[in-house]
């Protein structure tokens, strides 16, 4: 079982002054947790992204990512149904997770997006490293699932399901 997500966004190659938008069909948000020491992978099938990036002034850039939590899939129907339950994502009461960047810094293809990740009503600061190459923003970061109330009750035992969840994203950036 697992968790999350997250993510984020933004930028284009240094030759482009502004990039806005994300080609969702060519983008992915994936997660990996460990169950009894074994990596377990999943992804979010639906999300939206609103990105504005200026290579000349990354600090003026913005990014917001909204993830449909009911779209979490690990490729097995029973597990996917379990992910929607209150112990995990509780997608009926918390249909989306959101990352809102408050600061983007860096230069060239190496950026840092600092902001707030909100899952199940819990908002926590995160810093996400972002690499931009050939119009694709990608990165990976870790979140502590228990801090977001993901996998409670019997699933809170970190010897069964690890607390750390790796989130990977690939966002194909497009001009608007």
pLDDT tens digit string along 127-160? 999 988 888 889 999 999 999 999 988 899 999 9
Can you give the CATH number for the domain in which 157 is found? Answer: 2.40.128.110
Task: Specify if 2 maps to a domain.
Answer: no
Q: Is 4 part of any domain?
A: no
Dihedral, CA of residue 142, residue 148, residue 153 and residue 159, to nearest 10: 20
- 9 found inside a domain: no
Over residues 104-120, mean pLDDT: 92
The pTM for the full model equals 0.85
Q: Count the domains in the chain.
A: 1
Residue 167 lies in a domain: yes
Range of the domain at 78: 18-173
Residue 135 resides in a domain? yes
**Distant-in-sequence, close-in-space partners of 81: CB < 8 Å, separation ≥ 6:** none
> Per-residue pLDDT tens for 88-102?
999 999 999 999 999
In a domain, 3, yes or no: no
- Tell me the C-alpha distance between 168 and 39, whole Å: 14
């Amino acid at each position: 079982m697992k968790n999350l997500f997250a993510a984020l966004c933004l930028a284009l190659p240094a030759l482009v002054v502004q990039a806005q938008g994300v080609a969702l069909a060519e983008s992915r948000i994936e997660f990996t947790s460990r169950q009894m020491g074994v990596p377990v992978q999943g992804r979010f099938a639906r999300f939206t992204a609103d990105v504005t990036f200026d290579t000349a002034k990354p600090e003026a850039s913005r990014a917001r990512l909204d993830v449909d939590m009911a779209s979490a899939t690990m490729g097995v129907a029973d597990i996917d149904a379990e992910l929607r339950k209150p112990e995990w994502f509780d997608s009926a009461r918390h249909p989306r997770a959101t990352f809102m960047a408050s600061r983007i810094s860096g230069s060239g293809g190496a950026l840092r997006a600092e902001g707030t990740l909100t899952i199940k009503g819990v908002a926590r600061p995160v810093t996400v490293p972002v690499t931009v190459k050939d119009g694709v923003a990608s990165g990976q970061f870790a979140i502590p699932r228990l801090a977001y109330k993901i996998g409670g009750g019997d699933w809170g035992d970190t010897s069964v399901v690890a607390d750390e969840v790796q989130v990977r994203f690939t966002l194909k950036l497009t001009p608007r």
